[in-house]
Chain A
Amino acid sequence: MTLSRDDVAHVAMLARLGLSDEEVERFGAQLDAILHAISRLNEVDTSAVAETAQVGGLVNVWREDEPRPSIGTERALANAPDSDEGQFRVGAIQESE
């Protein structure tokens, strides 16, 4: 299979990666090669096999819903590029144009 430029640009947007044209070109070719190489998957018969999502052997981990101290607003915000009045601050959600 071959990925079109539009396919690659679509995936990049889903992943919120603002790739340059050169990157779209390069990653497109590399993804093609990788997807081709991993087609070995299709040779394994999995018709009677269930998916494995995790191998920890645990099923549903419960705990009591008890209030506990947390790290607090100040520490939570300490690494923020921008914050104001105890909150993370970002630019406009809507496009300005």
Chain B
Amino acid sequence: MSAGDGGWVGRTVVEMRDALRRGEVTAVQLAEQAIAHRERVDGRVHAFLARTDELAREQARRADERIAREGDAAPALCGIPVALKDVLCLQGVETTASSKILRGFLPPYTGTAVQRLLDQGAVVVGKTNCDEFAMGSSNENSAFSPVGNPWDVERVPGGSSGGSAASVAAGVVPYALGTDTGGSIRQPASLCGVVGFKPTYGRVSRYGLIAFASSLDQIGPFTQTVEDTALVYGAVAGHDPLDSTSSPTPVEDPLEQLRSGVEGMRLGVPREYFVEGIEPGVRAAVERAIEVLRSLGASVEEVSLPSTDAGLSTYYIIAPAECSSNLARFDGVRFGLREEAASVLQTYLRTRDAGFGPEVKRRIMLGTYALSSGYYDAYYRKAQKVRTVIAEEFDRVFEQVDALVCPTSPTVAFTQGARSDPLAMYLCDVLTIPVNLAGLPGISVPCGLADGLPVGLQVIGPRFQDARVLRVAHAYEQAAGTAAARSPMVAEAAA
């Protein structure tokens, strides 16, 4: 395979790393192929907002120099293309959170997770489209464009990190960063047939992430393989003095136990995750995946998380409450859109009405209501108590089993426009939200197709057992060979 014909499109981070070190390809060639493939597919996918080609070329040149200088000692991600969800600040590159209110915003600094990639020599080819301020499950809430699923562009990629998931699924980049507040990494990973990992809350610094719901938000990677996820997670995880909620607990090397397998492990299947609304094809694919894990020597037992169905209600108080507070900063004074009016108050009212889209307004309204005088106890305080109940149910189950396995999303990718009712859309995240409420690590790994569309297996672990979650997902992926399933767009590069 020659380096000039798109032959590296769809390859993994590990494959690119090894080829760079062996001199089979240069970072500049990888960057040019990523840019060319992005241009080939993005007119249909719309995964990208800001394109950073000149930056990428310069980063790639420097990466090639570094690899020449440092050889195998160069960092794993040196010279490898990446895409960043548009809620992650990269100094001097337009960052909008897919909102009109931030159009033209040039961050004055770079966030920690992104900086850690840059320190490794990463090559940024663009910022990815998402639901506005990361609020949504289909990417249809972007103020700029919906995103097409690379398996079928008439269908949604999931959300909110839909552009990041699609950029990897289409083969433009081998990895991307997203954020997950209620499933916004795992659900689009499931719908796009890639790996998506939400680390334990506090594992990855949120400094330089445009906040949605601060007690739930977590940054994590999209990749094609679990090993790639372990590499990227290892690069971005760890304490950051600039985020006081980031954990000082030492990070276990995720690669160390990656290949240890699941023999003797106890896996729990939460019965509440297989209830009504799960598509039969999704159920079948996930049940087959669980059988694969059993065949690898894990013991599988049914467990119960009785308050699972209260998770959605809890989330739709807590997340909007936190968002109503976080998004108060968008007032037309320090950055972003300003709709000039006769007084400051009128300027606030007009700016925020013109700048925010319907879902963001809906959640700000809901959150403001839940926090307002007279309703705080009935809604916000009550939701915080139910959050405790949900977290404690997980704690108890993890006394019994090492990890949980279940579907990521109740459905495969649905058609654009099919879920116009906000409540129907909220149901997309019913199986991912409890993990955020409890602060746990969770991964979605592809487990085959249903009706020709990807299905994701979700693996959930106890807090700070991120490495164990990756180990279970890796064991499954290796046995099932699901990492080979690629969207049709990957093949277009070779055509």
Contact = CB atoms under 8 A, between A and B. Distances in A.
Given A57-B463, A81-B332, A90-B344, A52 B338 contact: no
Interface size class on chain A is 35 or more
A37 B313 contact: yes
Contact of A55 (B215, B312, B345, B366): B215
B449 interface: no
Contacts of A39: 313
A19 B334 CA distance: 22
A96 B438 CA distance: 49
B154 interface: no
A90 B423 contact: no
B202 A11 contact: no
A4 to B, nearest CB: 12
B73 interface: no
Nearest to B380: A51
Contacts of B348: 16, 18
B365 interface: yes
B16 to A, nearest CB: 34
A25 B422 CA distance: 15
Given A17-B353, A95-B345, A50 B324 contact: no
B132 to A, nearest CB: 14
Nearest to A94: B343
B342 A92 contact: yes
A30 B425 CA distance: 13
A87 B202 CA distance: 35
Contacts of A61: 244-245
B303 interface: no
A27 B423 contact: no
Interface of B: 104-106, 108-109, 201-202, 215, 241, 244-245, 247, 307, 309-310, 312-314, 316-317, 324, 328, 331-338, 340-350, 352-353, 356, 361-362, 364-366, 368-369, 372, 379, 381-389, 391, 422-423, 426, 437-439, 463
14 contacts: A11-B369, A11-B372, A15-B364, A17-B356, A17-B365, A34-B423, A38-B316, A46-B385, A46-B388, A54-B215, A63-B244, A75-B109, A80-B333, A80-B334
